[in-house]
């Protein structure tokens, strides 16, 4: 397909596609003339991922390039490529190391992981962005005086484990390993607002059940 068709099918303007090409976020098409190139379904798939990262997930261009580079690193196995790509996604601010609450939060998080039996060193090591983000969140809860002991966090972790199964079940609907990797990254970004929305809706339902008119506590 030519650039105009790629734009129509992807919903991305030709100017934006040209920008993504210049930034290395989209591989070049097959040159057919001095001024025109042809693109295929792989370009369309990649554009969907780039849109998910940049337009929906608000991932900076540099970070998006890191994610895509990780996905294309064939020296890594399937699991490592996915892990490296997800590491490159933005993970929020880091906790201040000189704060006693940070050290206490790290001990809490480590105890939680031991209880769950989550022993993936790559995912849970001190260099893991997700691990550091969790330490930051637990430290903030502690400083503000909100519940954040292992018993408080464990139900959330177990729910996250169930969500991970659903995540990878979705990913495995795609046939090729490359499609699975791209889908895993895109769905990580696209499903986070879905999860936040559903949690708030579920809270409203549970609040109504407990405290609304007709409830036993009303």
**Mean pLDDT to the nearest integer, 102-129:** 83
Q: Summarize pLDDT for 79-113 with one digit per residue, the tens.
A: 888 887 777 777 777 777 778 889 999 999 999 99
**C-beta of residue 139 within 8 angstroms of C-beta of residue 101:** yes
Claim: this prediction has a pTM higher than 0.85: no
Residues 6+ apart with CB under 8 A from 78: 177, 180, 181
Q: State which residues form the domain around 56.
A: 3-87
- Where does a domain end: 56, 87, 118? 87
Mark whether 61 and 130 lie in a shared domain.
Answer: no
Closest CA to 63 of 12, 13, 129: 129
Tell me the range of 7-21, 58-72, 146-160 where mean pLDDT is highest. 146-160
Q: Summarize pLDDT for 26-37 with one digit per residue, the tens.
A: 988 888 887 789
Question: Could you give the CA distance from residue 12 to residue 127 in angstroms, rounded to a whole number?
Answer: 36
For the cut 60, the answer to whether the pLDDT of residue 122 exceeds it is no
Mark whether 129 and 158 lie in a shared domain.
Answer: yes
Instruction: Indicate the number of domains in the chain.
Output: 2
Q: How confident is the model at residue 175 (pLDDT cuts 50, 70, 90)?
A: confident
For the cut 90, the answer to whether the pLDDT of residue 72 exceeds it is no
Mark whether 104 and 207 lie in a shared domain.
Answer: yes
**In this structure, is residue 216 part of a structural domain?**
no
Mark whether 80 and 106 lie in a shared domain.
Answer: no
Structure tokens at 23: 């930034």
**In this structure, is residue 94 part of a structural domain?**
no
- Where does a domain end: 22, 56, 87? 87
Q: How confident is the model at residue 164 (pLDDT cuts 50, 70, 90)?
A: very high
């Amino acid at each position: 397909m030519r650039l105009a068709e790629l734009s129509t099918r992807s919903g991305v303007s030709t100017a934006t596609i040209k920008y993504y090409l210049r930034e290395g976020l989209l591989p070049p098409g097959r040159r057919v003339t001095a001024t025109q190139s042809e693109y295929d379904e792989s370009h369309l798939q990649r554009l969907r991922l780039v849109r998910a990262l940049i337009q929906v997930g608000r991932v900076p261009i540099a970070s998006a390039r890191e994610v895509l580079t990780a996905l294309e690193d064939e020296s890594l196995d399937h699991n490592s490529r996915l892990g490296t790509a997800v590491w490159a996604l933005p993970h929020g601010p880091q906790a201040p190391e000189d704060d006693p609450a940070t050290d206490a939060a790290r001990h809490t998080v480590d105890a939680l992981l031991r209880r769950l039996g989550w022993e993936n060193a790559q995912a849970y090591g001190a260099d893991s962005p997700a691990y550091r983000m969790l330490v930051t969140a637990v430290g903030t809860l502690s400083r503000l005086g909100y519940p954040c002991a292992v018993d408080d966090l464990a139900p959330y972790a177990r729910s996250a484990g169930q969500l991970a199964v659903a995540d990878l079940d979705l990913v495995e609907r795609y046939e090729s390993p490359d499609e699975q990797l791209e889908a895993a990254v895109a769905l990580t970004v696209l499903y986070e607002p879905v999860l936040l929305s559903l949690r708030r809706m579920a809270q409203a339902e549970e609040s109504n059940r407990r405290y609304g008119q007709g409830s036993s506590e009303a």
